[in-house]
A and B are shown apart, each in its own frame.
Chain A
């Protein structure tokens, strides 16, 4: 039975993929442009460097934005009103304006005023500030989802404050926020492509430079999409697995 249902799954997944590939293929044929991907071999070193740069920026951005997000969420839920409003202004400004405007603002105005010249560092900072606001919202949602009666129950069984945090709050917070955080990491990888406008030589900028030299615009962007999928599909699978894991556990 299990074998059969696996077979059905595989077969259907195969048919679905085939359908997508055929549709893309028909579109390409109707376009009537001959594709030539030989540039990938020619520029493999630069593409690889761009790919590594995207991974490095995304990883550094994720760590930093996680830190910013946790601090912002704690401040927003905290008792100090002044800091609470700073956090609210930050989250609303970032979530309410497009990333491209923030990149220009932070790089050319704020970055220049404070002497941040390094493009990689600026890129990581801008990306972290942007994503931090979204992560703050994920964490705030996790905190709000906690049932207050649990805290009373913990008190009733004689847990200390640190025990309550360690044994009641943190495990639930992790279960609630980890799957969406993985999804946010995926967004960071995609959003990092916008840093190309301040000439951070990551994957998208590398492809733009290559296509500006050889005019293989379609091939460059198709291949670019494929490379981003190599990063985001595994992440999506991890997110799904985590979701299932915590659902079973809960």
Chain B
């Protein structure tokens, strides 16, 4: 009898502790969201105040996400600082808006989620405007365009995308890239090998593990130049142009309009021509010789 009472007491004690813990957790959750609300209101009042005095509003940083693994558009210099065409472009945009720019290096697959969760204001990462991406984020007007090319093994007999789409052929692509999307939707017979980075794709082709690698013409050109013993490039156009846009949070029309206005002005003032000269002098000439349209030639 005594034992039973004891255990009863024990049970109720444990239950009580559990319920208490739950309440505490719930309260903590509520308290936190309340706290968030109050800071939010505080923020909104402060922005109202700064509308009159523009100095404080100017200092609010513009947070831009990009994957610093796509030279010369987004990359790092030897000291580890962000550099490249997109970085200069973002900085020019920040100057135009009167806001300091913070670059956040984000893996490709995390770019769109970082916009969705409002961790960043913009994505400027040579991202192609696609219908599916447009469902979850908004895109600015296009500021550049590119075409896909194919890197193939030196000994390969592949001359077009159709040659590659055969049973037993393997296509390497980088996860989430437009080459990946093209391969997944158009390659009916070939096996698609999805890898995490560009260098792995090039290695697969150079070693003959894959028969081809889809990426934009510039990347294909540069990798072919770097591996002349093992690879060759195929530039026969086989799809529509990829248009690159700046990614903005869904519904943030104010920033979207500002970005669009900036792109118009920057293009008209020859900003992209300057960037081409600075970063891609040699390649621009090579593209001209090959008869390709340049990235920033949107006509």
Contacts and interface: CB of A to CB of B under 8 A. Distances in A.
Interface of A: 1, 4-5, 7-8, 11-12, 15-16, 18-19, 22-23, 26, 30-33, 108, 112, 117, 196-199, 205, 208-209, 211-215, 217-218
Chain A: interface secondary structure? helix
A199 B25 contact: no
A215 B110 contact: no
Interface stretch (B29-37, B74-82, B92-100, B277-285): B29-37
A199 B194 contact: yes
Contacts of A1: 3-4, 7
B133 interface: yes
A6 to B, nearest CB: 11
A207 B207 CA distance: 27
B52 interface: no
A15 B13 CA distance: 13
Interface stretch (B111-119, B150-158, B228-236): B111-119
A108 B36 CA distance: 50
B193 interface: yes
Interface of B: 3-4, 7-8, 10-11, 14-15, 18-19, 21-22, 25-26, 29, 32-33, 36, 109-110, 112-113, 116-117, 132-133, 136, 175-176, 180-181, 184, 193-196, 200, 203, 207, 209
Given A15-B18, A108-B203, A211 B25 contact: no
Given A30-B33, A199-B194, A205-B194, A12 B14 contact: yes
Contacts of B3: 1
Contact of B195 (A4, A11, A23, A199): A199
A71 B8 CA distance: 55
Nearest to A200: B193
A33 B117 contact: yes
Nearest to A31: B117
Nearest to B118: A32
Contact of B22 (A4, A22, A112): A22
Given A22-B25, A23-B25, A197-B200, A12 B18 contact: yes
B113 A215 contact: yes
Contact of A197 (B7, B26, B196): B196
A31 B36 CA distance: 12
B11 A7 contact: yes
Contacts of A11: 11, 14-15, 18
Contacts of A198: 195, 200
B4 A209 contact: no
Nearest to B113: A217
Contacts of A5: 7
A192 B29 CA distance: 36
Most chain A CB neighbours (cut-off 10 Å) among B3, B21, B109, B133: B109
A15 B175 CA distance: 41
B24 to A, nearest CB: 10
A242 B10 CA distance: 30
Contacts of B113: 215, 217-218
A85 to B, nearest CB: 32
Most chain A CB neighbours (cut-off 10 Å) among B4, B10, B116, B133: B116
Contacts of B184: 209, 213
